[in-house]
Structure 1
Amino acid sequence: MNATVRPEAADRIDTRFAAVAARHAARTATADADGEATYLELEWLADEVARRLTDRTGPGRLVALRAARTRHAPGAVLGILRSGAAYLPVDPAYPAARQEYLLADSGTALVLSDSGLLPGEEPLAQAGPYVLAARPAARATAPDLPEDTAYVIYTSGSTGDPKGCVVGHAQVLALLDAAVPLLGTGADDVWTLFHSLSFDFSVWELWGALLYGGQLVVAGKDAATDPLEFARLLAERRVTVLNQVPSAFGNLVTEARAEKVRLPALRRVVFGGEAVVPADVRAWWAAGIGPGAQLVNMYGITETTVHVTYCPLTEQVLRDSAPDRTPVGRPLPHLTVSLRDAGGRVVAPGEPGEIWVAGTGVSHGYLGRPELTADRFVDAADGSGRHYRSGDWAVAGADGSLSYAGRRDGQVKLRGFRIELGEIEAALRALPGVTGAACLVTTDPHGDQALTAYVVADRETVPPRTVRRALAGRLPAHMVPQHVRHLDRLPVTAHGKLDRAALVAV
């Protein structure tokens, strides 16, 4: 992991927020179903959290945040940052075993929670609605973090263990400085916090609104899971900037069309997290749900700080795209993208290549995993500097515009989450009675995608409900397969490798 000099105060998320709050103290900053909080009130909460953390943490240290979906959550994040520490989001909806893994792997000694404590966590102080607690048996020596670290978000791991990605203040601010002007958003905009803090799309939602004087409407659990309720929330709060993964957007379109919900205030819809579904985009346009809204596709990666490219969607853009390609446009101004072959050489125009990303958004690397960091964050042999090798493939058109062409490994994106199938397969193989396992994303006749697990096991002793219940205790909900199929054996290729293509026909 690269050592980084701590940025000056003006280059920190929390100090930029303080400057905005000084100008807009009485303006509503956040809102949820139970009320609103002004910029000044978020400042007060941030100060209180920071005071409780004084002498307990500091630069290069992590504080876990177990926060419900409320208007107070951004203040808790700001308080951790103001203390000099970085935050580790731990979704309270995760199974206890998943939460314990994130906390233990990161070596986190402190937890700030409004959602209860895990066994052994010892309360130390109260800060508004949050309890500060000490973690039991925290690592004596936690992995080193650069002093400017803002957060660590865990992504799915191909070896069966999630890995923490370390992102700095400067990298977040570089994203905002580059992307917000392209969207033309500012103090008059109303955003939603739709995504979990454990999903890096939330970083964009939080600070795209709050570092520019805008308002952030927090979607509660019901609104985040019920597309009709969410559509009504968008209309009621006159939301102007909406961020969605395409699968959630498809559900929103279906419900809004059926109930004739209209969103005349909406100005921008930003997609990320998975491939855009052209049929849903066209259905949105045809129904006139948000007649004044520009739709923008922004391909991105946690390791390069949320967004990499920017592509306004038009009928012409969709028409010109190949059926198996997703238009993702051009790199944001603070990044460069090159397409390379397996040897790291830039491919010829029109040829598919792996997306390599360089620039000020490239993160520090993986927490406590120097070998993996060295493998994925590389210095290009052509002297073009440090790059992140994404594992995603794309093709550049004649005008240089990029189209996403999928992956060449076992990683998938589903409902906005990046999922390593290997992690699910490792959890399946660990179940008593299972002697072989595989997992795929399958598509039904209606075009809906789902995770399907294939297990070599006795159906009577290891029924599907047992498999799903066991995985639900270990994996977050978005990684639990919706379908479980039993096999006598897993199909293999002539080389003895798992034949994933043959599984589709099972």
Structure 2
Amino acid sequence: MVETSGASVVLVHAGLAVPASVVGLGDAVEVIAVDASVPVEAGVSAVTDAERRGRLLPQHAAYTIFTSGSTGRPKGVTLPHEAVVNRLRWGLDELPIGPDDMVVLKTPYTFDCSVAELFAPLMQGSRLLIADPEGHLDPPYLADLIADKGATMVHFVPSMLSVFLELAGPERLARLDRVRIISTTGEALPPAVAAETRAVVPGAMLYNLYGPTEAAVEITYQRLDEVGDTVPIGVPVWNSTAYVLDGRLN
């Protein structure tokens, strides 16, 4: 990943041991420890174009995320600011949140599903509930966290949602009455899992989202007010087009 991206700087958490994977890079990168424990002083001005190497444009890269795809060898996918902002602005219009909402951040930021969890609440002044590392793998903990803190929006990969519904237990699931938006992406959503979600949290809007990393997180959406024999991936988000192709790519 470092070789492919040409990365020359690695940021690590000050006060913690440098990960072995970073130590193993040797002199290939410069390691900088960042102390984020103290809030930034009030009144600090934003970075200007004059302080950058050049003017920042919507077409410039916002991030590169590595995904293994079908080969197992990580490949870098770079997304421009305009594509990411389009996805975020669409999401805030279709799945609106505000200052009274609390969004669960539980997806590792090495996966693009974390983009909306991270930035959407900050764009709207919503609160961000940060789960413990690996907390998404512990359904009882996650259910208690959501219920105790009064979280209103949470995202799942369908397979993890299935495990969550199975292992959290009826009593914990009954306490999720503050949740009003549930979204899924990353895999096909089985109708049985969608139907159970609708039954367990009947007051929440349920969305099935679809999209490869190259399409800025998600590219199509379907709100599931009712669940039939199949769960469609829906229609394109803003400024996007979806094509259905046959075996010869027509």
Structure 2 length as normaliser, TM-score? 0.80
Alignment-derived partner of residue 63 in structure 1: none
Superposition misfits of 4+ residues, deviation over 6 angstroms? none
Q: Is the 8 A contact 1:266 1:293 kept in 2?
A: yes
Secondary structure of 1:282's match? helix
Task: Determine which of 129, 138, 143 is the counterpart of 1:226.
Answer: 138
Q: CA deviation at 1:124?
A: 4.6
Distance 1:222 1:197, change over 3 A: closer
Q: How big is the alpha-carbon RMSD for the aligned residues of Structure 1 and Structure 2?
A: 2.3
Q: Which has the higher strand share?
A: 1
Task: Determine which of 84, 102, 105 is the counterpart of 1:193.
Answer: 105
Measured against aligned partners, the alpha-carbon deviations of 1:410-459 in whole angstroms (never above 9, x if no partner) come to xxxxxxxxxxxxxxxxxxxxxxxxxxxxxxxxxxxxxxxxxxxxxxxxxx
Does residue 268 of the first structure (1) align with residue 181 of the second (2)? yes
Structure 2 residue identity aligned to 1:241: M
Secondary structure of 1:291's match? coil
Secondary structure of 1:192's match? strand
Q: CA deviation at 1:221?
A: 2.1
Matched residues in 1 for 2:223 and 2:122: separation?
A: 24
Matched residues in 1 for 2:31 and 2:238: separation?
A: 45
Secondary structure of 2:228's match? helix
List runs of 5+ in structure 1 lacking aligned partners.
Answer: 1-101, 131-145, 346-506
Q: CA deviation at 1:105?
A: 2.2
Matched residues in 2 for 1:163 and 1:233: separation?
A: 34
Q: How does 1:393-472 map to 2 (within 5 A)?
A: none
Alignment-derived partner of residue 89 in structure 2: 177
Q: CA deviation at 1:160?
A: 4.4
Distance 1:258 1:265, change over 3 A: closer
Q: CA deviation at 1:343?
A: 4.7
Q: How does 1:38-77 map to 2 (within 5 A)?
A: none
Alignment-derived partner of residue 328 in structure 1: 233
Distance 1:111 1:147, change over 3 A: farther
Does residue 256 of the first structure (1) align with residue 168 of the second (2)? yes
Q: How does 1:382-401 map to 2 (within 5 A)?
A: none
Structure 2 residue identity aligned to 1:103: V
Secondary structure of 2:135's match? helix
Does residue 152 of the first structure (1) align with residue 57 of the second (2)? no
Structure 2 residue identity aligned to 1:310: Y
Distance 1:194 1:344, change over 3 A: same
Q: CA deviation at 1:147?
A: 6.8
Secondary structure of 1:112's match? strand
Alignment coverage as a number of residue pairs: 221
Matched residues in 2 for 1:194 and 1:124: separation?
A: 25
Matched residues in 2 for 1:158 and 1:310: separation?
A: 24
Structure 1 length as normaliser, TM-score? 0.41
Task: Determine which of 279, 286, 293 is the counterpart of 2:192.
Answer: 279
Q: Is the 8 A contact 1:298 1:308 kept in 2?
A: yes
Q: Is the 8 A contact 2:98 2:124 kept in 1?
A: yes
Matched residues in 2 for 1:298 and 1:254: separation?
A: 22
Q: How does 1:93-132 map to 2 (within 5 A)?
A: 102-114=1-13, 116-117=18-19, 118-119=22-23, 120=26, 123-124=31-32, 126-128=34-36
Matched residues in 2 for 1:339 and 1:111: separation?
A: 41
Q: How does 1:368-387 map to 2 (within 5 A)?
A: none
Alignment-derived partner of residue 402 in structure 1: none
Alignment-derived partner of residue 302 in structure 1: 213
Matched residues in 1 for 2:206 and 2:141: separation?
A: 21
Matched residues in 1 for 2:170 and 2:183: separation?
A: 22
Matched residues in 2 for 1:147 and 1:174: separation?
A: 12
Secondary structure of 1:211's match? helix
List runs of 5+ in structure 2 lacking aligned partners.
Answer: 39-57
Q: CA deviation at 1:213?
A: 0.9
Q: How does 1:204-215 map to 2 (within 5 A)?
A: 204-215=116-127
Measured against aligned partners, the alpha-carbon deviations of 1:76-118 in whole angstroms (never above 9, x if no partner) come to xxxxxxxxxxxxxxxxxxxxxxxxxx22221110011126242
Distance 1:338 1:229, change over 3 A: same
Structure 2 residue identity aligned to 1:211: M
Secondary structure of 1:319's match? coil
Q: CA deviation at 1:256?
A: 3.3
Secondary structure of 2:186's match? coil
Q: CA deviation at 1:161?
A: 1.9
Q: Is the 8 A contact 2:8 2:30 kept in 1?
A: no
Structure 2 residue identity aligned to 1:106: S
Q: CA deviation at 1:188?
A: 2.1
